[in-house]
Amino acid sequence: MVAGPGLSRGLPLLEREPELAAAARAVRALCAGTAAGTAAAADGRGDPGTRAAPTGGVLVYRGAAGLGKTALLAEVRAIAAERCVVWSARCGEALSSVPFHVARQLLQPALTAGPGELLGEWYEAAGPALGVAPPGAQYGDPHRVREGLEALTHGLTDAYGPLLLLVDDAQWADLETLAWLASFARAPGPGLPVLLVVAYRTEDAIGAAAELLATIGESARLVGTLKPLTADATARLARTVLGPRADAAFCHEVWAVTGGNAYEAVELLVRARDSGMDPVGASAAALRGLGASTRGSGLVRRLAELGTPTIQFARAAAVLGTGIHLATAMAVAGMGGADAEGCAERLRAARILVGTDPLEFVHPLIASAVYRAIPPATRTALHGRAAWVITRGGGGAAAAAPHLLEVHPDGDHELVRQLREAAAEHLAVGAPDAARRCLRRALDEPPPAAERAAVLYELGCATLLTAPATTVGHLRDALEGPGLAGGDRVKAVLKLAQVLAHTDRGAEAAAMLAAEAELCPPGPLRDRYTAVRFLWEGLQAGEAQGPQRSRRLADATVHLTGEGSTKRVLLTLRAFDAAVRGESAALSVRTAERALVGGGPAPGLHWTDTEWGFEVPALLGLAYVLTDRLDRAEALFTEALRDFELSGWSGGHLAFAHAMMGLTHRRRGRLAEAEGYLREGVRLADGVGDLLPVRAQAVCVLVDTLLARGHVERAAACAERYGFGPPYPATMLLPDGACVHGRLLLALGRTEQAVDELEAAGRALTGRGRHNIVAGPWALDLARALAVTDPARAAELAGYVQHEAARLGTRTAMGEALVCAASLRQGRERTGLLERAVDHLEASPSGYELARARVEYGIATGFTAELSLGHDLAVGCGADGLAARANRALESTRLRH
């Protein structure tokens, strides 16, 4: 049995046949079609004649400590020897807080030469996490880093062929690596030749690590839960080590002493052999004594026999974890080179350590026993010394962080500085959770009173990408205490306002900004607060004083020039507000143009500029969407996708950009493309967590797009899955959420419910002065729904729609209004209205609306040519339901003729 480094080799791996068989099948599938795989098939290790494509997967071995997980991984490595590339990592309890530590062990061997070429476009995102590129100036996005690691893994299969990745003691893997492995296990890609084999201790897998390991297990082709060896297997093992003289009583005692623990059985038998013990029943008492010295307190007593310097060296090694460099352990133990070499040699002879430089514990059980036996005060002191040794040696605060976290709080201001520095390094490589641990520990020290608010602000920023709701509490605490003033306070206030809005608490953001503005004297700072307040107030779906705010905004911008960021932001807000309210599209566009520089966002107002946030160019793009300038909108949102990807912002920011691209394509009539962007936006939003408005926006447009495609059941399933329906987010959705949901209810034949919802949507929108019939199409659908049961109300609605379309003045709005009016008419009046609608929509960028108008016009006139043209337009849009309707009308027309 191969039980771990330093133990006897060549022993049988007993009672693990199912796990070994699964490993053999998995390796065979991994190497299928390769030269090694073909050779294996020929010599009996594979299936002769098969040429299947290589495929990977996941295997998981779990169980209590010492049951042979490490031995199984060694056997998997042996099975794969000379057939594929094998990279491995061994996790350590003392290093579990080091972000991406295990990922570096796994993948750094491939990156020793040319990491830039292998990582390609992912170099800046994933390179810092892997330690092969310097951290960037911006925070690393953990989602982007994981995507980079996944892309690298795909690329490595091209460079190296099939890969076998082994992770031992994964219960102690850092959470960042586990999150990547869980993501990879869920979606490794069809036919990707990567086999991931994970082994972990069930009793030590707790909290987030347990959840991530369970996720990995859900995707595994096998989850093997190892059991202790039976008495028969233990007897076979004893006779393999000690020979056939080992009698039944002795073998049974070995099993009783070790409880069938494979590691302890091997260790006990080797020690019995080395001591010259006679393997007979009469040796039972001696065997029990020997067994007690192989684990727990017995191991500690055996270690004590080696002398105080050796104990101190072993403790230093246990504090350092895995991959223990002799010079570092020597410095932490506080001894010279010769003494350290002597201690290491004694520990190797005692079967506690193995290797030279680096050193390793023979088994994690031994490392745990030594570490946990260190008196608490001594352990803390050793961690403090380890941190000092690492930083003095140029390792940096992040490398020392696992030790800094273990030092007892003592008001050490230098420790606070190091922890803040470590947190900044963790954020830069995309490990916000590791940064959060450092900053929480810094607060416990505690920091100087003047620095506490700054630490809280940094803690808020550390949780922004992964837990926006948590950020709110930290930023509020930072603002309520002393220490933040001037520009630092402004940054914290604006960051808090942004996070509140992104967690659907925009009204709170606006109220806070109003209060902060009251504390400021007139000037640029107060103007900035006012502008941001206008921003978050204007995005509230249920804003009570909408018309009054719009008037104040109009008054504030009527004479503005576009000089200065605050003025350009106000102009952008005015352009968006005018578009939503249904004012003249020409006025909205002219106002938007005044906010631009050279036809694009001004310096400081681009997508990734953090001073104002991405909302400013986003509102500019939405103003263009609502005023038929879809080419300008598409250019802006394409730039957003590019900028976010280049900056590594792949969480909520990229989700929003995909949602906006989906909305733009929906308005242009590119429905299949829109669906693709929107589904990706929903996926990204799901990965971030509590980002309700972002996901709701993507889902809203996705439902609308599926309805336009004629996929009513899919639209209903989407709405059901994501809870799309009342109550809606407090943040405005475009198009309006209640309008889209009412449209869905109509498509499902639930007319009464649809009418109620559309009527309520109309009251809410008009009461807030929002009359753009593209942004809020309630009246369009309500008029059609009431055409038979309440023709007078339907006519009233059609008149309202035509009035608002004329006020807005876009070709799309005019065409939609005419189609709505035509749905209430018959004969020549109907065809005349539809003909005018087609004329308007031909001059618009709205492809789907044009296709629908042409089909309706063709049906009304019976013109085959019009129906054919409408059919082709519908097919081009991806509007399957509309195309089918046109086909049916064509067939009917042909039958009549």
Q: 766-782, pLDDT tens digit by residue?
A: 999 999 999 999 999 99
At 313-332, the pLDDT tens digits run 999 999 998 889 999 999 99
pLDDT > 90? residue 365: no
Confidence of residue 222 (pLDDT cuts 50, 70, 90): confident
d(CA 387, CA 328): 11
Q: What is the mean pLDDT of residues 195-199?
A: 94
d(CA 561, CA 131): 48
Q: What is the mean pLDDT of residues 209-220?
A: 91
Is the pLDDT higher at 696 or at 297? 696
Q: Find the range with the poorest average confidence among 138-142, 180-184, 416-420.
A: 138-142
pLDDT > 90? residue 827: yes
Report in angstroms the alpha-carbon separations of 720 from 176, 546, 700. 32, 31, 12
Q: What is the mean pLDDT of residues 371-381?
A: 91
Q: Find the range with the poorest average confidence among 38-42, 449-453, 864-868.
A: 38-42
Confidence of residue 41 (pLDDT cuts 50, 70, 90): very low
Q: What is the mean pLDDT of residues 410-425?
A: 91
Can you list the alpha helix ranges (DSSP code H) found in 131-230? 142-160, 175-186, 207-218
Question: What pLDDT was estimated at residue 473?
Answer: 86
Q: What is the mean pLDDT of residues 249-269?
A: 90
Question: What pLDDT was estimated at residue 8?
Answer: 43
At 658-706, the pLDDT tens digits run 999 999 999 999 999 999 999 999 998 887 655 568 899 999 999 999 9
Q: Find the range with the poorest average confidence among 302-311, 649-658, 674-683.
A: 649-658
845 cis-preceded (ω within 30 degrees of 0): no
Report the run of H or E that residue 818 belongs to, with start and end.
Answer: helix 811-822
Question: What pLDDT was estimated at residue 747?
Answer: 97
Q: Find the range with the poorest average confidence among 90-104, 336-350, 833-847.
A: 90-104
Cβ atoms 563, 607 nearer than 8 A: no
Question: What pLDDT was estimated at residue 37?
Answer: 54
d(CA 197, CA 199): 7
Question: What pLDDT was estimated at residue 10?
Answer: 60
pLDDT > 70? residue 608: yes
What is the average pLDDT score of the chain? 88
Question: What pLDDT was estimated at residue 120?
Answer: 80
> What share of the chain has pLDDT > 90, as a percent?
53
Secondary structure class of 361 (helix, strand, coil): strand
Write out 471-509 in H/E/C secondary structure: HHHHHHHHHHCCCCCHHHHHHHHHHHHHHHHHCCCHHHH
Sheet holding 85-90, edge to edge: 85-90, 163-168, 194-201, 57-63, 222-225
* Spatial CA neighbour of 114 closest among 83, 144, 155: 155
pLDDT > 90? residue 127: no
Question: What pLDDT was estimated at residue 689?
Answer: 59
pLDDT > 90? residue 219: no
pLDDT > 60? residue 188: no
d(CA 593, CA 601): 10
At 483-536, the pLDDT tens digits run 787 778 888 888 888 888 878 888 888 889 888 888 888 888 888 888 988 988
Question: What pLDDT was estimated at residue 48?
Answer: 45
With a CB cutoff of 8 Å and minimum separation 6, the contacts of 498 are: 509, 613, 615
d(CA 331, CA 386): 8
DSSP at 204: T
Confidence of residue 541 (pLDDT cuts 50, 70, 90): confident
pLDDT > 90? residue 744: yes
pLDDT > 80? residue 292: no
With a CB cutoff of 8 Å and minimum separation 6, the contacts of 122 are: 147, 148, 151, 152
Write out 825-862 in H/E/C secondary structure: CCHHHHHHHHHHHHHHHHCCCCHHHHHHHHHHHHHHHC
**Would you call 485 exposed, middle or buried from its count of C-beta atoms within 10 A (0-12, 13-18, 19+)?**
exposed
Tokens of 600: 């694009």
The phi, psi pair for 313, rounded to 5°, reads -70, -40
Confidence of residue 539 (pLDDT cuts 50, 70, 90): confident
* Spatial CA neighbour of 668 closest among 844, 405, 441: 844
pLDDT > 60? residue 2: no
Q: What is the mean pLDDT of residues 808-822?
A: 98
Tokens of 474: 């930290």
Q: What is the mean pLDDT of residues 299-308?
A: 84
Write out 750-817 in H/E/C secondary structure: CHHHHHHHHHHHHHHHHHCCCCCCCCCCHHHHHHHHCCCCCHHHHHHHHHHHHHHHHHHCCHHHHHHH
Confidence of residue 3 (pLDDT cuts 50, 70, 90): very low
Confidence of residue 799 (pLDDT cuts 50, 70, 90): very high
pTM over 0.85: no
